Amino acid sequence: MVAPLFIGSESLAELAALLARPAVGQVIVVTDDNTQRLCYPLLRPYLPAKHSVVVLPAGEEFKTLSSCELVWNELTTERADRFAVVVNLGGGVITDLGGFSAALYKRGIRFMQVPTTLLAQVDASVGGKTGVDYQGFKNHIGVFQEPAGVFIDPQFLQTLDPRQLKSGYAEIVKHWLIADADAFATGRHIGLFVEDWTPIIRASVKTKEAIVAQDPLESGLRKILNFGHTVGHALESYLLTQPSREILHGEAVAAGMICESWLSVQKGLLSPEELDKIETFLFSIYEKVPFVSLETEAIADFARQDKKNAGTTINCTLLEAIGRAVYDQPITVQDVADSLRYYQKI
């Protein structure tokens, strides 16, 4: 079952109404030090007077089981029972980690998502995926667990710097490329020159919800949502192991979409003309992710741990046209390395 979803300026009032119900016990807000400073003041008026706050360090490098322990320690200290509700306030790291922590505490308590980044609003908070990184691999440990509600207020986007906004935009472009050719045709002429994000968020979330509703546990169709992520996650995971080479998730996915579009052409699925449209648009927004040729094999090796794999087969989502994706397309580590070399030379 897809979680109740509220989008717009009234969404936080809906959250307040749900938290005021008699069936709600303790309320614990999970956030990070950035969102505590920038976003918690906007949320606080909608919370019960009595609530506790867990503040985690900000950053993908803290999306770990150790951070989950900080959440579990607070829940235990507060004697949180199974009527407690965790409210996750933040971007994709917080919504993933907070949801995962709630799903495991006392075999599962309710949690609500209040996403504050564009990426979390259109992707990470929707669909019931939760988890943490492990041994350098993205979202390696996790569960499927739908939140009790998702509350998307575009006002939080005003707290973002341009780089974070662009990172989230990559997931919107992904939804266009896998399922909405018309939106891509329109959106590529507008780019980030957006006055009101609400209609774009609604449309993007609607695309994801429609896919998730047909395949909640990612046994088939939902795999198309991973377009750009096989190569993108490999690139992101590798760079996270390197000192001072920070990369945002959307930046890696944008690079991954170019690589996997190129692989789609190599497999005879996508036309070179469509690849050119995708490349031109993405490079008009995103700078090229820097790495050297000698690193391509090491980056590609991370794809061996991709969650869509079956045995030694790397299963990738590719495009057979803009707006139409196909999943479970077998590729090799060498294919991943070749796509990275192509990306590097463009």
Active site residue 107: yes
Same domain, 170 and 271: yes
What's the distance, CA 152 to chain centroid?
14
CATH code at position 247: 1.20.1090.10
Active site residue 277: no
State residue 1's pLDDT score: 62
Active site residue 189: no
- Measuring CA to CA, which residue among 114, 124, 125 is closest to residue 18? 114
User: Per the structure, how many domains does the chain have?
Assistant: 2
Same domain, 237 and 326: yes
State residue 63's pLDDT score: 97
Which string of DSSP letters, residue by residue, matches 262-284?
HHHHHTTSS-HHHHHHHHHHHHH
Active site residue 171: yes
Same domain, 121 and 173: no
Average pLDDT over residues 212-225: 94
246: pLDDT strictly greater than 90: no
Same domain, 104 and 252: no
* The last residue of a domain, from among 106, 127, 159: 159
State residue 93's pLDDT score: 96
Question: Catalytic one among 174, 175, 188, 222?
Answer: 222
26: pLDDT strictly greater than 80: yes
State residue 263's pLDDT score: 98
Same domain, 97 and 74: yes
The structure tokens listed for 48 are 């019960």
State residue 142's pLDDT score: 96
Residue 306: pLDDT band by 50, 70, 90 thresholds? confident
- Which residues constitute the domain of residue 39? 5-159
Active site residue 51: no
Question: Catalytic one among 63, 188, 229, 308?
Answer: 229
Active site residue 129: yes
**Confidence (pTM):** 0.91
22: pLDDT strictly greater than 70: yes
The structure tokens listed for 117 are 């980044």
What's the distance, CA 330 to chain centroid?
23
* The last residue of a domain, from among 110, 139, 159: 159
Same domain, 206 and 126: no
The structure tokens listed for 280 are 């031109």
Same domain, 317 and 169: yes
Same domain, 126 and 255: no
Q: What integer best gives the mean pLDDT of the chain?
A: 95
* The last residue of a domain, from among 125, 159, 193: 159
State residue 92's pLDDT score: 95
Same domain, 153 and 168: no
155: pLDDT strictly greater than 80: yes
136: pLDDT strictly greater than 90: no
Same domain, 146 and 268: no
Report the distance separating Cα 171 and Cα 190, nearest Å.
Answer: 16
Report the distance separating Cα 241 and Cα 10, nearest Å.
Answer: 41
CATH code at position 127: 3.40.50.1970
Active site residue 267: no
State residue 305's pLDDT score: 83
Same domain, 10 and 104: yes
Same domain, 196 and 307: yes
